[in-house]
Amino acid sequence: MVKGQETPFMNLSEIQDALIHPQKTIEEPRAQKKTKIRTPILTRFIRTTRADVLFNLFFTFLMGIECLLFLLFFTFLIESAILAINLGVIFATGFTYFILRLHRQAQKPEKLLTICQSFEEEFNRNSEYQPGCAEYHIALANGYARMANALHGKEYRYYTAPKLLSFLNPKMAKFSHWFHWYDVHKMKELLLLRAVDEYIKLIKTEPTNLEFHAALANAYVMLSGLYQVPAKEGDILWSLIVPMTEILQTKFTQASEKAIEEFKILNEYSPNDPWVHQQLAYSYHDLQMPEKEIVEYENLLSLLPDDDEILYKLGTLYFQEGENAKGLAIYESLRERDPVKALALVQYYGGSLLQN
């Protein structure tokens, strides 16, 4: 902690705003100056991941040249020993490529971890706080979260065409995404996991601080968003993650359940806070647990009886789960207050049969 200075923390409403907008995080103390460490770390990450693409392109080009020369001079070399040498060079190049590629792939997780560690080392050199204090954990966790946020969409922006060839940029974006999606995903995962770890350490310094639990819940929400499998099949991203779908779904469930546990803690201390029940409802929706989602919207409605949006969502859930009597009761209430929403709501009548 900075000596002789009292550190202001965010109030609960600011934490709630941060959770509604996951790119925001709990603010570190104002005395903590922004350090210039993100850019060089990002540059190092980009350089490391680009090197793999250059490696693949180099061997692809080399193999292409060797095969082209072999085909061009095949008729001249067919009765010569040079033909065997040429074939040997092609196979040796291919063998060398696959061995080196396996080696590079095995080293990549360690390289990414080293980049994360270098981020912490740079942070420690620039931080005003001593490791172990609450302010240190807040600032470091925020640094990890912001670093992960800085990588958002980066997989599309590795390569850009010159201005004269700007029409190639959509193709370049697809090329970039194809080769770098996993690298960016893995780096963001490592950063967010470290942010979670720092928030857990933070909570251990003050276990009943609601702001700290809300910040940890925010980190779990961001992590679950990273693991969420896109619903649109046929998309380029879908083709990349098909082999990882089961793993991502498992991690998504684990992160969401962790977030729910933190929201339940907040609910214990603040049972009449609508925001807490709203976050629980969102989490149960993501986990496809409609019964518990309904309970949370019922709690929300008891706290905010004049909120037509809550009424509409609850009525939709009733119809989707086959509780048509309750759904029609909400329809009657909503028809007097917002006929347009009521008309939209009744379209869900009978939805449970269609789902089954």
How far apart CA 88 and CA 94 sit, in angstroms, is 10
How far apart CA 50 and CA 57 sit, in angstroms, is 11
Torsion of CA 258, 260, 266, 270, to 10 degrees: -170
How far apart CA 164 and CA 346 sit, in angstroms, is 54
How far apart CA 225 and CA 227 sit, in angstroms, is 5
Please count the other Cβ atoms lying within 10 Å of the Cβ belonging to residue 318.
Answer: 27
How long, in residues, is the chain? 356
Amino acid at 337: R
305: tokens are 């009886």
Predicted local distance difference test score (pLDDT) of residue 18: 44
Please provide the distance, in angstroms rounded to a whole number, between the alpha carbons at the two ends of the chain.
Answer: 58
Report for 21-25, 201-205, 283-287: range of highest mean pLDDT: 201-205
Query: Does 21 have pLDDT greater than 80?
Result: no
Residue with tokens 């009449």: 272
Q: Give me the CATH code for the 271-356 domain, please.
A: 1.25.40.10
Amino acid at 110: E
- Residue 105: partners with Cβ closer than 8 Å, 6 or more residues away: none
Please count the other Cβ atoms lying within 10 Å of the Cβ belonging to residue 219.
Answer: 30
Please count the other Cβ atoms lying within 10 Å of the Cβ belonging to residue 36.
Answer: 9
The answer to whether the pTM exceeds 0.85 is no
List, for residues 142-163, the tens digit of each pLDDT value: 889 999 998 988 888 888 888 8
Query: Does 115 have pLDDT greater than 50?
Result: yes
- Average pLDDT value for residue range 4-10: 34
88: tokens are 């040997």
- Average pLDDT value for residue range 282-307: 89
Task: Give me the DSSP letters along 79-136.
Answer: TSHHHHHHHHHHHHHHHHHHHHHHHHHHHHHHHHHHHHHHHHHHHHHH-SS-TTSHHH
7: tokens are 């550190």
12 versus 306: which is more confidently predicted?
306
170: tokens are 């959509």
List, for residues 163-218, the tens digit of each pLDDT value: 888 888 888 888 888 888 889 999 999 999 999 999 999 999 889 888 888 889 88
List, for residues 295-337, the tens digit of each pLDDT value: 999 999 999 998 999 999 999 999 988 898 998 999 998 888 8
299: tokens are 């709690």
Contact 58, 104 (CB under 8 A): no
Query: Does 353 have pLDDT greater than 80?
Result: no
Predicted local distance difference test score (pLDDT) of residue 210: 84
